[in-house]
Structure 1
């Protein structure tokens, strides 16, 4: 769970990091507030949200654990509790 949350936060932060690198390559200091206008931050946030949503979708479709039907925990024929699993 923590790994997927960190991956999603990383995907959201990626456009901001790339913009800061872009400012650095253009010989502008990336920590100056004037370079982070409301329009630029809005577009970066929108791009980050789209990347995060795409990451969730890719993880949901291509993750190997989600294939098959889920068999919930149940009592087996010997009277022992069998844990839930995907089959």
Structure 2
């Protein structure tokens, strides 16, 4: 679950990272005004769009076998039995 949350946070932050790199490489990020007057709405919108698309792709390519149920790891008669699909 943590992997999914961290991946979605990364997907959301990608447009902000791209904008920061663009400001840095073009040397327009010398003042804070470029961030205050920047395209915040479009950065948030594109971050949400990328997150939703990433979530859909992650759900589509899930590695869980079809028609099987996951059994979590357990101790049975003092022996550790790892998680498995049945």
Q: By the TM > 0.5 criterion, same fold? A: yes
Shift >3 Å, 4+ stretches: 70-73, 84-87
Shift in Å at residue 35 of structure 1? 1.0
Higher helix share: 1
Look up the SS of the partner of 2:39 in the other structure: helix
Q: Is the 8 A contact 1:69 1:86 kept in 2?
A: no
Matches of residues 28-47 of structure 1 in structure 2 within 5 Å?
A: 28-29=28-29, 32=32, 34-37=33-36, 40-47=39-46
Aligned length: 75
Shift in Å at residue 71 of structure 1? 3.8
Which ranges of structure 1 fall in alignment gaps of 5 or more residues?
A: 74-83
TM-score by length of 1: 0.71
Over the residues paired in the alignment, what is the CA RMSD in angstroms?
Answer: 2.4
Shift in Å at residue 36 of structure 1? 2.3
